[in-house]
């Protein structure tokens, strides 16, 4: 069972805000577009990685090769880090597409798919005590179901991003309250291991999510619970 969690949702539904509950001394944020973190005290809690890579828990880049190096760095060199957040991963795809917008042909879509697959596949090789959260915007398919937002049908056909995760949570704002949907309700492509969450909707709290998944993983006979 993978520690990786995919968080998808529309803008303004509390995806990035959900980071607020993670303990900053155990969390590393990889911010793809270097947007300000939307919660109190974020600048004090998260400082940029130092030039010698000895201190810091924040790094900004939309380059997939640099992102993969940071994942390897956190995995191999930072045992103090228990939570890795990549926010908003979809912009690695969008930005690369815009950089090659004038390039003709479909090969660029294959490259975009390969780069996205490599990052997610690298997350699947991280140590057991590192939980990774991949945050993306959502889009609506032709059947009216929400899914991760990518670039065009070709990329969706080459890499089914949500299919690479056991846990997919969908952020929503209902009556001014922010929630994660934990399982498919017919409109949102969400899912979670059996027994991880008691309700279809939970608070947008990544530490709670991490605790519930960790508890399930550490249960005796946990294989029975997640089949």
CATH topology of domain 5-222: Rossmann fold (3.40.50)
Exposure on the CB side of residue 134, measured as CA atoms within 13 A: 29
pLDDT at 185: 81
pLDDT at 79: 95
Could you read off the pLDDT of 76-87 as tens digits, one per residue? Answer: 999 999 999 999
Q: Which two structure tokens, joined as six digits, stand for 59?
A: 């790094």
Which residues in the chain land under pLDDT 70?
1-2, 91, 94-110, 152-158, 220-227
pLDDT at 227: 36
**pTM for the whole structure:** 0.86
pLDDT at 143: 75
Domain ranges of the chain: 5-222
Q: Which two structure tokens, joined as six digits, stand for 200?
A: 């279809």
Could you read off the pLDDT of 178-205 as tens digits, one per residue? Answer: 999 999 887 888 989 888 898 999 999 9
Express as a percent the part of the chain with pLDDT over 90: 42
Who contacts 208 (Cβ-Cβ below 8 Å, separation ≥6)?
Answer: 21, 202
Q: Which two structure tokens, joined as six digits, stand for 26?
A: 């155990």
Q: Which two structure tokens, joined as six digits, stand for 92?
A: 């690695």
């Amino acid at each position: 069972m993978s520690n990786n969690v995919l968080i998808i949702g529309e803008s303004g539904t509390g995806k990035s805000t959900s980071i607020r509950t993670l303990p900053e001394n155990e969390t590393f944020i990889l911010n793809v577009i270097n947007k300000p973190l939307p919660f109190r005290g974020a600048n004090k809690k998260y400082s940029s990685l130092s030039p010698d890579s000895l201190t810091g828990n924040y790094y900004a880049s939309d380059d997939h090769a640099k992102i993969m190096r940071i994942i390897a760095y956190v995995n191999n060199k930072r045992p103090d880090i228990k939570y890795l957040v990549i926010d908003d991963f979809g912009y690695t795809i969008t930005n690369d597409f815009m950089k090659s917008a004038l390039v003709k042909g479909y090969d660029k879509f294959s490259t975009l798919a390969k780069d996205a697959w490599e990052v997610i596949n690298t997350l699947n090789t991280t140590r057991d005590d590192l939980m990774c959260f991949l945050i993306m915007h959502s889009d609506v398919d032709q059947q009216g179901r929400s899914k991760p937002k990518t670039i065009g049908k070709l990329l969706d056909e080459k890499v089914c991003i949500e299919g690479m995760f056991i846990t997919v949570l969908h952020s929503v704002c209902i009556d001014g309250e922010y929630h994660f949907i934990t399982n498919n309700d017919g409109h949102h492509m969400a899912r979670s291991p059996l027994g991880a969450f008691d309700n279809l909707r939970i608070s947008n709290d990544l530490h709670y999510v991490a605790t519930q998944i960790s508890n399930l993983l550490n249960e005796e006979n946990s294989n029975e619970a997640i089949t």
